[in-house]
């Protein structure tokens, strides 16, 4: 692959602006808006993405402002397809050694993939295998002259020869080369005693007319006249009458003889079982597998065995080209799978600091505001840029959704100020947009229980324990009570599958600004919850609690810090 092609591919590599798993409206809207902000600054590589499903609230906001949902990216783990060379120099299984040597010399490669019909991988041919084949075998002079599984046509192509007469050009057979450099008497005696039959002989000769005639009368398979010399008409006629192939090589006798031997079919030199991989295998998984494998290159094939790429050990050292900008989160447990193995170059967030480790310094914007969209909108304002009415509208949607229309305890003066500024740009009343968003449908009624608890779901780790908290907002608690038993069961399954100390679902009533907490987990931990238990000791009434980030998580972390590990019990 050329360095120019590589540079173009790297230049075209996108930077994904992406929120957390199981995204909410704020993470989706912030990703879209921040990509637009980057575009206004001339960065066309940034593209919004999501690593989870949409929901009714997100769809309502995007449909209202006619903005498409970002593309889904479920995994950014570096894989073979990310580093493999796609512009492959390959050779057909029916080609000759001459063609292989030409490709190796022209493209300066050490190995050639060998393909059959529809580019299915047959094996590989290395320069080392070719070298072994052409190493002089002094003790086997006959083998040094053998042309394996070749044809007259292959010899003609290898020599770029002119054809004076040909017979059965495509017949494949083993042939043997002789150079007619000696006196006709010696040549004749050798011809009579040699064990190689004339019909298997290829004679390389210059302007020695006597040897030309003798070879043709013998009925050899091919006479190759060297040095681009003129050939007498009667010699051509004699070749026709005796059914002998007659060609003229542009090279001298030594070069012609070697080139004819290079016309051997490469089929017997193919390594039929080269190391091969699929494009979806992770780089982490294959590095150990190839560490001690002595191969010049590793083939990449699809499910049908079709060759689609190759890579070398050097390619495994290439920097990973995938870049991420994380919005609305900064913890790898909440990020798209594979985020820890690629380049996180920026973070824009409004949550507590998590466990992100980066190889180099990055831009990290973290503000104690109610919404990531507030931070992004403030960037526009500070830089003197104006988002379009559509982008301003979706940022309004993100702020309204995350702050419960400025009623959440996470709401700040900046959230209010930015929301007013965006409303003017979008030409939309905040309260009217809030009514549209919060009446867009019940998450609990419109989704299966397993989907409900994963619709806005995050895993945390504190005091050597992992736990999850999901949150949904509803207009009243009626839908929750209708589905409380299936939700309880789904939460228990989630806890078991993710191996968590406990799993919780916070159901917030947007009208009353109160919440119910459904929790499944360690009995010793649940007994520590001081809020009134509503049912079965697993549902609690949390008056005035609406924020997972600012209210519930600090409360749960405080309980965990006071719970000795040895006191855990399984509910």
CA separation for the pair 392, 460 (Å, rounded): 32
pLDDT (0 to 100) of residue 195: 77
pLDDT (0 to 100) of residue 357: 80
Residue 120 has which token pair?
A: 């299915």
For 159-193, write each residue's pLDDT tens digit. Answer: 999 999 999 999 999 999 999 888 887 776 655 55
Domain 82-132+268-317 CATH (choose: 3.40.30.10, 1.10.357.10, 3.10.580.10, 1.10.540.10): 3.10.580.10
Domain 3-78+322-438 shares a fold with domain 82-132+268-317: no
Q: Provide CB contacts within 8 A for 446, sequence distance 6+.
A: 56
CA separation for the pair 28, 70 (Å, rounded): 8
Q: What 3 state SS string does 522-551 have?
A: CHHHHCCCCCCEEECCCEEEECCCCCHHHH
Q: 146 - beta bridge partners?
A: 176
CA separation for the pair 245, 239 (Å, rounded): 7
Listed by start position, the domains of the chain span 3-78+322-438, 82-132+268-317, 152-262, 443-567
Question: Long-range contacts of range 567-571, CB-CB < 8 Å, 24 or more positions apart?
Answer: 567/524, 568/501, 568/522, 568/524, 568/525, 569/522, 569/523, 569/524, 570/522, 570/523, 571/520, 571/521, 571/522, 571/523, 571/526
Q: Provide CB contacts within 8 A for 258, sequence distance 6+.
A: none
pLDDT (0 to 100) of residue 517: 96
CA separation for the pair 482, 234 (Å, rounded): 104
The CATH T-level fold of domain 152-262 is: 3.40.1390
Question: Would you say 225 and 248 are in contact if contact means Cβ atoms under 8 Å apart?
Answer: yes
Query: Helix (H, G, I), strand (E, B), or coil: what is residue 442?
Result: coil
Q: Provide CB contacts within 8 A for 521, sequence distance 6+.
A: 467, 495, 500, 501, 502, 503, 504, 571
HSE, side-chain direction, 13 A CA sphere, residue 490: 19
For 227-275, write each residue's pLDDT tens digit. Answer: 999 999 999 999 999 999 999 999 999 999 999 988 988 888 899 999 9
Domain 3-78+322-438 CATH (choose: 3.90.1640.10, 3.40.50.720, 3.30.428.10, 3.30.360.10): 3.90.1640.10
HSE, side-chain direction, 13 A CA sphere, residue 133: 25
For 277-335, write each residue's pLDDT tens digit. Answer: 999 999 988 988 888 888 889 999 999 999 999 999 999 988 888 999 999 999 888 89
Domain 443-567 CATH (choose: 3.30.365.10, 3.40.50.720, 3.10.310.20, 3.40.50.1820): 3.10.310.20
H or E element in which residue 162 lies: strand 162-165
Intra-chain end-to-end CA distance of the chain, in Å: 59
Which among 241, 238, 198, 206 is positioned nearest to 222, based on CA atoms? 198
Q: What is the pLDDT along the chain (571 residues), one digit of tens a residue?
A: 434 333 334 445 789 999 999 899 999 999 999 999 999 999 999 999 999 989 889 999 999 999 999 999 999 999 999 899 999 999 999 889 889 988 999 999 999 999 999 999 999 999 888 887 777 666 676 777 788 889 999 999 999 999 999 999 999 999 999 998 888 877 766 555 567 899 999 999 999 999 999 999 999 999 999 999 999 999 999 999 999 999 999 999 999 999 998 898 888 889 999 999 999 999 988 988 888 888 889 999 999 999 999 999 999 988 888 999 999 999 888 899 999 999 999 999 999 887 778 878 999 999 999 999 999 999 999 999 999 999 999 999 999 999 999 988 899 999 999 999 999 999 999 999 999 998 887 889 888 999 999 888 888 888 788 999 999 989 899 999 999 999 999 999 999 999 999 999 999 998 888 999 999 998 888 889 999 998 767 999 999 999 998 899 999 999 988 876 544 444 3
């Amino acid at each position: 692959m050329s360095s120019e092609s590589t540079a173009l591919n790297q230049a075209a590599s996108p930077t994904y602006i992406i929120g957390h798993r199981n995204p909410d409206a704020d993470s989706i809207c912030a990703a879209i808006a921040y990509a637009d902000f980057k575009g206004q600054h001339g960065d066309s590589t940034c593209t919004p993405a999501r690593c989870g499903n949409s929901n009714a609230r997100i769809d309502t906001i995007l449909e209202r402002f006619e903005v498409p949902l970002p593309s889904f990216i479920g995994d950014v783990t570096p894989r073979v397809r990310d580093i493999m060379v796609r512009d492959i120099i390959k050779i057909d299984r029916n080609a000759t050694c001459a063609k292989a040597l030409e490709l190796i010399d022209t493209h300066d490669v050490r190995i050639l993939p060998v393909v059959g019909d529809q580019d299915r991988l047959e094996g590989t041919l290395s320069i080392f295998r070719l070298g072994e084949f052409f190493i002089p075998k002094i003790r086997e002079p006959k083998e040094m002259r053998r042309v394996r599984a070749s044809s007259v046509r292959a010899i003609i192509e290898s020599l770029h020869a002119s054809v004076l007469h040909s017979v059965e050009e495509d017949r494949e057979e083993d042939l043997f080369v002789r150079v007619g450099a000696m006196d006709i008497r010696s040549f004749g005696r050798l011809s009579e005693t040699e064990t190689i039959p004339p019909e298997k002989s290829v004679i390389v000769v210059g302007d020695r007319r006597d040897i030309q005639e003798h070879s043709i009368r013998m009925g050899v398979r091919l006479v190759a006249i060297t040095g681009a010399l003129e050939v007498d008409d009667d010699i051509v006629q004699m070749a026709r009458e005796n059914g002998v192939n007659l060609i003229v090589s542009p090279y001298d006798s030594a070069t012609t003889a070697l080139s004819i031997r290079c016309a051997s079919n490469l089929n017997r030199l193919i390594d039929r079982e080269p190391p091969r991989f699929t494009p979806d295998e992770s780089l982490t998984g294959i590095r150990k597998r190839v560490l001690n494998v002595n191969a010049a290159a590793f083939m990449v094939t699809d499910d049908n065995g079709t060759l689609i790429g190759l890579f070398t050990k050097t390619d495994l050292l290439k920097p990973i080209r995938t870049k991420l900008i994380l919005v609305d989160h900064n913890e790898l447990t909440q990020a798209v799978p594979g985020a820890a193995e690629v380049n996180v170059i920026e973070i824009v967030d409004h949550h507590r600091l998590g466990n992100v480790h980066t190889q180099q310094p990055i831009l990290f914007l973290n503000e104690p505001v109610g919404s990531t969209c507030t931070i992004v909108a403030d960037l526009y304002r500070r830089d003197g840029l104006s988002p379009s009415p559509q982008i301003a509208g979706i940022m309004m949607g993100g702020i309204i959704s995350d702050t419960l229309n400025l009623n959440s305890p996470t709401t700040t003066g900046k959230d209010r100020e930015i929301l007013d500024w965006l409303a003017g740009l979008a030409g939309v009343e905040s309260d009217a947009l809030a009514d549209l968003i919060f009446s867009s449908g019940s998450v609990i009624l419109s989704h299966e229980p397993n989907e409900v608890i994963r619709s806005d779901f995050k895993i945390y780790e504190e005091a050597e324990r992992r736990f999850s908290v999901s949150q949904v907002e509803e207009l009243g608690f009626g839908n929750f009570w209708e589905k409380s038993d299936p939700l309880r069961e789904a939460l228990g399954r989630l806890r078991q599958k993710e191996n968590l100390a406990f799993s919780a679902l916070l159901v917030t009533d947007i009208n009353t600004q109160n919440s119910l907490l459904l929790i499944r987990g360690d009995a010793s931990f649940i007994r520590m919850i001081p809020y009134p238990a509503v049912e079965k000791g697993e549902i609690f009434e949390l008056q005035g609690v609406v924020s997972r980030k600012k209210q519930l998580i600090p409360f749960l972390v405080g309980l965990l810090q006071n719970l000795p590990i040895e006191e855990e019990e399984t509910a």
